[in-house]
Structure 1
Amino acid sequence: MSQHRPIKGVILDVDGTLVDSNEAHTRAWVEAMEWAGYHVDFKRVAPLIGMGGDKVLPEVLNISKDSPEGQRISQRRKEIFQQKYLATVKAFPGTAELLHHMHDQGLKLIIATSAEPDELNKMLQLIEPHIEELFENATTSKDASQSKPDPDVVQAAIERIKLSPQELIMIGDTAYDIEAASRASVAAIAFRSGGWSDEDLKGAVAIYDGPADLLKHYDESPLARGL
C-alpha cells in the first residue's frame, strides 16, 4: 500500500461551511432583485449561492455584475444582507473548535471565498473574536476575476500560502467549491451544512455533516491521514 501524502495546509470556504449563511444570502439576493423590479423565486437563487455575483446575476437575470444595473443590484444586496440578515447568521457548531484544532496540529489555514473583504471580516467575528489570527491569509472576490466554480480564488490562495496543490486540501459546502478546487489540482472535503446532497458533492474525497462532524472524526480524516 502506498504511503499517504501528508496535508500541510487547508483552504477554507466560509459561507455554508463555517457559518450558516446560505439562506440569508439567498434572501438578500431575492429581495435586491425584487427591489430592482425583478421577481425571482427563492428556489431559483438558492442553488447558486457559493458563486459570486459575477455568476449569479448573469445566470438569473442575464445581467452583468459590472453593468450599471448589475452594480445597483449588487450594492443593494450587500445593504440588505448587512442591515437585515447578518444579525441572523451564526457559526456552525464546532467551527471555532475545528479551526483551533487544525491550527494546533500545525496546518496552515487560508480562506478562499466569493465574499467581499468587509463581509468576510464580519463573518469571521461571528465565529469567535480574533479568529482571523489563526489564518495565514484570505482570498476574496477582490482577488479573483471569476468566482467559483472558476479556480481563480483557489489559485490565489495557493500562491499566498506558498504550498503546492498536492500539500493542500480545500473544505467547502457546494459543488462549486469542489470544482474550483479540482481545477486548481487541490483535493476537497465537503460539508453537507450548505444543503447540498452527497450526490452533488461526489467529487469530494470525504463528506461530513459539518465542522463538528469532521472534528469528531478528525483522526480518521484526510487531514490527519493524508491523501
Structure 2
Amino acid sequence: MEDLELPKAAIFDLDGTLLDSVDLHALAWQEAMVKFGHDVTFEQVRSQIGKGGDKLIPVFLSEQQQNEHGRDLEEWRGNWFKSTYLPLVRPFSAVPKLLQRVRETGLRIAVASSAKKDELKKYLNIAAISGLVDVATSSEDVDESKPAPDIFEVVLKKLDIEGAEAVAIGDTPYDAIAARKAGIPTIGVLCGGFTEHSLREAGCVEVYPGPSTLYARFDDTALAK
C-alpha cells in the first residue's frame, strides 16, 4: 500500500484552539444578551461559542428582535469584550512551538477564525505567532461564519490548494462541520470545552487534549502522515 502524501497546509482555529478565550467570549455574549433583555444563561451561550455572531444571535433572538436590536447587541458585545476581556486572553501552552514544528515539516500555516479583523491581529500577537502564519481570515472576509464552510473555502483559495491537501485544527463541532463541508479533515482539541464524542460525531479524525499534546505527539498526527 502506498503512503499518502503529507498535507500541504495546517489551518488553525484561534479561540479555544490556540487561545484560552472561550469562557471570556461566552461571558461577553451572555452579558450582552442580558443587557438587551434576554434571559440567557452562561451555559447556553457557551455551547454556541465557535459560531460567529450571524449564527449565534439567531439561536436566542427572534427575527423581529434581531431586526430591532441585533446589530446593536453585537456591537455592544464586541466593544465590551475588547475593553473588559481581551486583556485577559492567554495562549495555551506550546502554541508557538507547535506552529514552528508545523513549518519545519514543510506545511504552510493558515488561521481560519470567526473573529473580527481588528481582534484577529491582536490574537496573533497574544499567541506570539504573527510571524508564523502565512494566511489569515476573519469574519469580514466571508458572508457566513462557521458552521458554514465559507472561512475554510477562502483559506483554500488563498493557499491555492484543495481541501484534501489540508488539515484543520479546531476545538468545536462547528469547526469540524465547516471544514468537512470544504473537504478538509479535522483534528479536534478538547481545550475549548467540547467533548471528544461531540468532536468525533462532527467529523474529527483525531482528538487530542490541546496544542501541547499535539506538539508532543506530532509525528503520530494527521499533520505528519
**Shorter-chain TM-score range:** over 0.9
Residue 98 of structure 1 deviates from its aligned partner by 0.5
Scaled by the length of structure 1, the TM-score of the pair is 0.94
Supply the AA of the counterpart residue of 1:154.
Answer: F
CA-to-aligned-CA distance 1:168-196 (integer Å, 9 cap, x gap): 01000000000001000010000001101
**1:205 match: secondary structure:** strand
1:147 to 145, 157, 165: 145
CA-to-aligned-CA distance 1:78-129 (integer Å, 9 cap, x gap): 111111111211100111110111112211011111111111111111111x
Residue 5 of structure 1 deviates from its aligned partner by 2.9
2:185 to 175, 187, 190: 187
| Other-structure match for 1:11 | 11
How far, CA to CA, are the matches of 1:140 and 1:84 in structure 2?
21
How far, CA to CA, are the matches of 1:40 and 1:118 in structure 2?
27
**2:199 match: secondary structure:** coil
- Unaligned 5+ residue runs, structure 1? none
1:100 equivalent in alignment to 2:100: yes
Residue 66 of structure 1 deviates from its aligned partner by 7.3
* 1:13-162 matches, cutoff 5 A: 13-63=13-63, 67=67, 69-128=69-128, 131-162=129-160
- Unaligned 5+ residue runs, structure 2? none
Structure 1's 119 and 221: CA in aligned 2 closer, same or farther, altered over 3 A? same
CA-to-aligned-CA distance 1:126-169 (integer Å, 9 cap, x gap): 111xx222111111101111111110111011000111211101
How far, CA to CA, are the matches of 2:167 and 2:65 in structure 1?
30
8 Å contact 1:169–1:186 — kept in the other structure?
yes
Scaled by the length of structure 2, the TM-score of the pair is 0.95
How far, CA to CA, are the matches of 1:179 and 1:2 in structure 2?
29
Structure 1's 145 and 64: CA in aligned 2 closer, same or farther, altered over 3 A? farther
8 Å contact 2:29–2:77 — kept in the other structure?
yes
RMSD: 1.5
How far, CA to CA, are the matches of 2:106 and 2:63 in structure 1?
44
Report the identity percentage: 36
Supply the AA of the counterpart residue of 1:36.
Answer: F
8 Å contact 2:187–2:204 — kept in the other structure?
yes
How far, CA to CA, are the matches of 2:53 and 2:147 in structure 1?
12
How far, CA to CA, are the matches of 1:223 and 1:121 in structure 2?
25
How far, CA to CA, are the matches of 2:130 and 2:89 in structure 1?
18
Matched pairs, number: 223
**2:110 match: secondary structure:** strand
Residue 63 of structure 1 deviates from its aligned partner by 4.5
How far, CA to CA, are the matches of 1:66 and 1:153 in structure 2?
23
How far, CA to CA, are the matches of 1:102 and 1:77 in structure 2?
34
